[in-house]
Chains A and B, each alone.
Chain A
Amino acid sequence: MQEIIKNYVTKEYVEDDTELTYDTPLISGGIVDSFSMVSLKRFLENKYSISIPDDKATPEAFDSVNKICVLVREYVK
């Protein structure tokens, strides 16, 4: 899961050759902005057939690949 999400974020949101790690700050680091979070949330929901409540999709919960994985695992059955 970590690798899939990291690759997706790199492909969709990284504009140059920056190498992401699983802990690279995505939101506070300015890689994914608050508007783009909506599309990242949609990707996670589609990919893992889950529904993430809006109040759980916070900048803090989306701030790294590792944090996103923790969030996604809460909803994957």
Chain B
Amino acid sequence: MSNIGSYDERIINFDWNIAEKELDYKPGDIINIGWYCSDRICEKGFGNKPALIWEGSTGIEKRYTYNELRMNSNTIGQFLRDLGIQPEDRVCLFMDKIPELYIGFLGILKMGGIAQPLFSAFGDESLFVRLDNAQTTAIITQKKHAPKVRKIMEKMPYLKHMIIVDADPAKPLLDREVAFDLEKAEKIEKFTVHPTYAESPSLLHYTSGTTGQPKGVKHVHYSLISQYLTSKWVLDLLDTDIYWCTADPGWVTGTSYGIIGAFSNGVTQCVLDAGFSADNWYRFIEKHKISMWYSAPTAIRSLMKAGEEVIKKYDLSSLRHLASVGEPLNSEAVIWSERVFGKPFLDTYWQTETGSMMITNFPGMKIKPGSMGKPFPGIIATVIDAETFEPFGVPGKIGLIAIRPGWPSMMRTYWRNEETFKKKFKNGWYLPGDRSSIDNEGYFWFVGRDDDVINTGGHLVSPFEVESALLEHPAVAESAVVAKPDFVNMEVVKAFVTLKPGFTGSKDLDLDIMNFVRKKLSPLAMPQEIEFIDSLPKTRSGKIMRRILHAKEWGEEIGDTSTLEND
């Protein structure tokens, strides 16, 4: 029997206080995610249970019990407090998937700070706009990423500290830099956790939109309630599980389910901080006897591409339950996983703003390969007409996914951008920006985004951000960026570019532009293909018609071109 038991029974009279009771939380109590993920598990008598088993790219392994997780997060919390960091100050985590990232996250929350994890592959420009928007007080990073921070330090007078967790003692630190070695630091046994409450801010995750700068999604400590329960009911976490969430905590899955959901449920989780290879992933599952595996369609399709011979080299019989997130999981991948692993990957649908799963497939429920599943108990979701914002009420029609606001982990606002936050709501519904239909059994079927945002490998990339970066390249006159279909990543970034006089499109220029964007923004945002063209399709008012370029890439009808400039 799974944790959720019967889905149909769970949705009747569901109340989030199920989770509150299990967590011994009552409305008005202090609630601190850092404490719930470490101290509470120890108080329940599981201090000696392994919490984190970490493996680096060279094969080095580190293990932390829940008691060590508690003391190490105390130690980081105290260090930050001693530096003068105040509650609600933003503290950025800019690291690879090393133990300090996971433990530092809890330490920040325990001292009352707002954790701001950022993907360590971000280039200096991407890093700057996010730190600048958050007016970040401190950044915790590794020496390998320090040069990117140093490059923009001058522009950030509000950034008081760059904390380097593996600083080379032989090299002098610069102004505002401080070294902190967690392993060598004296461990703090007793630490006064900051008394945060349900609505106290906990986390800022940045996400991209079609236009404008990235938005800082603000979450609060009460998000724990839905992150805990969805982990228990959808990921079906058991005390005996060895759990592997492959996501990077620079993104929301890596925090909601790679830290909060896992540790608040008291499971043992493994982290592999190494680049992808099918051999290495299967070896990791075999070695650690992973039983619950939460991954992403891009990774699953990469495994499919690697073939089945490699699977036969490893004993993967420990796998009990599989789930996926980040982008729609195609039916072929579901069928493939059932055939090769003996169980299907269950697709889960949610996003940075929702903080936890919204529409998912559940253990024990009939799986329709390719479907997103059904709303989590307590989540009222439907599909509405894009013009009237009214639910269709009949199955099969494609419209906007709409969710009734009010679940615990819903974002509270976009940081310093309340106006954009308000635009996410129409007619009493929260609109995630995706389109789908609902079949006659209540299953949701994903159709696509409702905007130009590119979903590549489960990460959202703003065409606006890439176009802006392209325009800074000395050869680029104009640019338009669209999604291009891709087997592994679902979509990749494609750029159409016109050149300034004196420049000619060539393979070398193509590579130069790719690398320019990669370093400035991130590898995800780097155009995987650049097409040099003479002019971009525009409306008579001069607006670039991305729609036409998108349709060309996807082999779709171009549609109405009556406003086209040269038509």
A30-B57, A63-B277 given; A12·B515 CB < 8 A: yes
Per-residue interface assignment for chain A, residues 5 to 38, with 1 indicating a CB less than 8 Å from any chain B CB and 0 otherwise: 0000000100110100000011111111111101
Q: How far, in whole Å, are A27 and B57 apart by their CA atoms in the complex?
A: 9
Interface centre among A35, A36, A46, A59 (most CB of B within 10 A): A35
Q: Mark B254-278, 1 if CB is under 8 A from A, else 0.
A: 0000000000000000000111110
Mark each residue of chain B from 45 to 64: 1 if its CB lies under 8 Å from any CB of chain A, else 0. Answer: 00000000000011000000
Q: Is B275 within 8 A of A32, CB to CB?
A: yes
Separation of A26 and B305 alpha carbons in the complex (Å): 20
Q: Across chains A and B, which 4 residue pairs bring their CB atoms closest together, nearest first?
A: A35-B523, A27-B275, A16-B144, A36-B523
A residues near B507, Cβ cutoff 8 Å? 42, 45-46
Closest to B298 in A: A34
Contacts of A59 in B (CB 8 A): 275-277
Which residues from chain B contact A2 at a C-beta distance below 8 Å? none
Tally chain A residues at the interface, Cβ within 8 Å: 27
The smallest beta-carbon distance between A24 and chain B, in angstroms, is 10
Across-interface contacts of B277 in A (CB, < 8 A)? 27-28, 59-60, 63
**Interface flags, B499-538, vs A, CB<8A=1, else 0:** 0000000011011001100100001101010000000000
Interface residues of B (CB under 8 A from A): 57-58, 96, 121, 143-148, 273-277, 279-280, 302, 305-306, 456-457, 507-508, 510-511, 514-515, 518, 523-524, 526, 528
Q: Is A75 an interface residue (CB 8 A)?
A: no
* Seed contacts A15-B147, A35-B518, A39-B515; 7 additional CB < 8 Å A-B pairs: A18-B144, A25-B275, A28-B275, A35-B526, A36-B518, A39-B526, A58-B306
The reply to whether A39 and B275 contact each other, CB–CB distance below 8 Å, is no
Return chain B residues, CB-CB under 8 Å to A34: 275-276, 302, 457
List B contacts of A15 (CB < 8 A): 144-145, 147-148
A58 vs B57: C-alpha distance when bound (angstroms): 18
Give the chain B neighbours of A32 by CB distance below 8 A: 275
User: Given A30-B274, A46-B508, A63-B277 in contact, is the A35-B457 Cβ separation under 8 Å?
Assistant: yes
What is the chain B residue whose CB lies nearest that of A27?
B275
- Residues of A contacting B302 with CB < 8 Å? 34
Q: List 16 A-B contacts (CB under 8 A).
A: A16-B146, A16-B147, A27-B275, A28-B57, A29-B274, A30-B57, A30-B273, A30-B274, A31-B275, A33-B121, A33-B523, A34-B457, A38-B514, A38-B526, A39-B518, A59-B276
Contact B275 A33 (CB under 8 A): yes
Residues of A within 8 Å of B145, CB to CB, are 15-16
Q: Which residues of A contact B121 (CB under 8 A)?
A: 33
> What residue in chain A is nearest B514 (Cβ atoms)?
A39
A27 to chain B: which residues have CB within 8 Å?
Answer: 275-277
Q: Give the Cβ gap from A43 to chain B, nearest Cβ, in Å.
A: 6
A38 to B525 CA separation, bound complex (whole angstroms): 12
Query: Do B514 and A42 have beta carbons less than 8 Å apart?
Result: yes
**A25 and B144 within 8 A (CB):** no
Contacts of B146 in A (CB 8 A): 16
Q: How many A-B residue pairs have CB under 8 A?
A: 75
**B518 contacts A29, C-beta separation under 8 Å:** no
Whole-angstrom CA separation of A59 from B298 in the bound complex: 14
Given A15-B148, A18-B144, A29-B274, A60 and B279 touching (CB < 8 A)? Answer: yes
- Write the nearest CB–CB distance from A74 to chain B, whole angstroms: 19
- Assembled-state Cα–Cα distance A31/B507 (Å): 24
Residue of A with least CB distance to B306:
A58
A29 touches B515 (CB 8 A): no
Cα distance A60–B302 in the bound complex, in angstroms: 12
Choose from A26, A33, A42 the contact partner of B511 (Cβ within 8 Å): A42
B510 to A, closest residue via Cβ: A42
Contact call B515/A28, Cβ cutoff below 8 A = no
Residue on B nearest A60 in the bound complex, by CB: B277
Report the minimum CB–CB distance from B179 to chain A (whole Å). 15
Chain B residues contacting A31 (CB-CB under 8 Å) are: 275
A39 vs B57: C-alpha distance in the bound complex, in angstroms?
Answer: 22
Q: Which residues of B contact A42 (CB under 8 A)?
A: 507, 510-511, 514
Measured CA separation A12–B12 after assembly (Å): 56
CB distance from A46 to the nearest CB of B (A): 5
User: With A and B bound together, what is the CA distance between A33 and B525 in angstroms?
Assistant: 13
Q: How far is the CA of A30 from the CA of B96 in the complex (A)?
A: 9
User: Nearest B residue to A36 by beta-carbon distance?
Assistant: B523
**Contacts A30-B273, A39-B518 given: A16-B143 contact, CB under 8 Å?**
yes
**Given contacts A28-B280, A46-B508, is CB(A36)–CB(B526) below 8 Å?**
yes
**Closest Cβ–Cβ distance, residue A35 to chain B (whole Å):** 4
CB under 8 Å from chain B, chain A span 33-77 = 33-36, 38-39, 42-43, 45-46, 55, 58-60, 63
Residues from chain A with Cβ under 8 Å of B58 in the complex:
29
A61 → chain B closest CB, angstroms: 10
Question: Nearest chain B CB to A56's CB is how many angstroms away?
Answer: 12
Alpha-carbon gap, A49 to B456, bound state (A) = 29
Q: In the bound complex, how far is the Cα of B279 from the Cα of A50, in angstroms?
A: 28
By a CB distance below 8 angstroms, the chain B residues around A35 are 456-457, 518, 523-524, 526, 528
- Alpha-carbon gap, A39 to B514, bound state (A): 7
Residues of A within 8 A of B528 (CB): 35, 38
A19 to B460, CA, bound (A): 33
- A38 and B279 CA atoms in complex are apart in Å by 21
Q: In the bound complex, what is the Cα–Cα distance between A41 and B145 (angstroms)?
A: 24
Q: Is the CB of A43 within 8 A of B524?
A: no
* Complex CA distance for A15 and B523, rounded to whole angstroms: 13
